[in-house]
Amino acid sequence: LMDLALPYDILTRARRPDDQTQRAFELFTVSRSKDLVTCEGGIQILPQHIYPDAQVYDALLVPGGSGAAEAIKNLRLMNWFGRAAKLAKVVAAIGTGTLILAASGILGDRRVAYTSELDETYHQVRSSPGEEVIRDGNIITTGSSEFGVELGKAIITYFEERI
């Protein structure tokens, strides 16, 4: 839950530089169906879009959690995510969410925040232990949900640099 909630909260608080009354980002949750998604702690999230029908997004945020291992086995999801990530301006992931980026093929040899599962399976990805948030081009990662606030701020900074 924290993998999604912390950066989501930071992004909802961001305001447009030209109009501080307007949110800088319009946020959506995307899943494989419109069924409630139950987080590890029991809190449920109602997805707003399903991924085969989801539109083009400026940014994609992939939370980690125990579902990442199952997600990377879903070829339909990996194909959609790979296409969506190529169209997005920025792609971000927390913890095991980085595995989804690697499995979809978008990481190549980019540097990402450390998660041990990357070293075991995706040898071409350069993981960096000890760094809270890593930005390599348009990919932003953190190895743990405890840095979700920093990840949210890094996404905001990415877009502010392009205004």
Residue 62 contacts residue 100 (beta carbons within 8 Å) = yes
pLDDT recorded at residue 163: 64
Question: What average pLDDT does this structure show over 99-118?
Answer: 83
| Helix or strand (DSSP H, E) at 42 | none
- pTM to 2 decimals? 0.88
Residue 155 has which token pair? 């996404």
Q: What is the DSSP string of 81-131?
A: HHHHHHHSSEEEEETTHHHHHHHTT--TT-EEE--HHHHHH-TTSEEETT-
CA distance from start to end of the chain: 31
What angle is formed at CA 32 by the lines to CA 43 and CA 61, rounded to 5 degrees?
Answer: 70
Residue 21's alpha-carbon distances to 105, 135, 161, in angstroms, are: 38, 29, 20
Is the model's pLDDT at 123 over the cut of 80? no
Going by pLDDT thresholds of 50, 70 and 90, the confidence category of residue 17 is: confident
For residue 155, the SS3 value is helix
Average pLDDT over all residues of the chain = 87
Domains of the chain: 2-160 (3.40.50.880)
Q: In the prediction, which pLDDT does 51 show?
A: 83
> Minimal CA–CA distance to 97: which of 69, 127, 131?
69
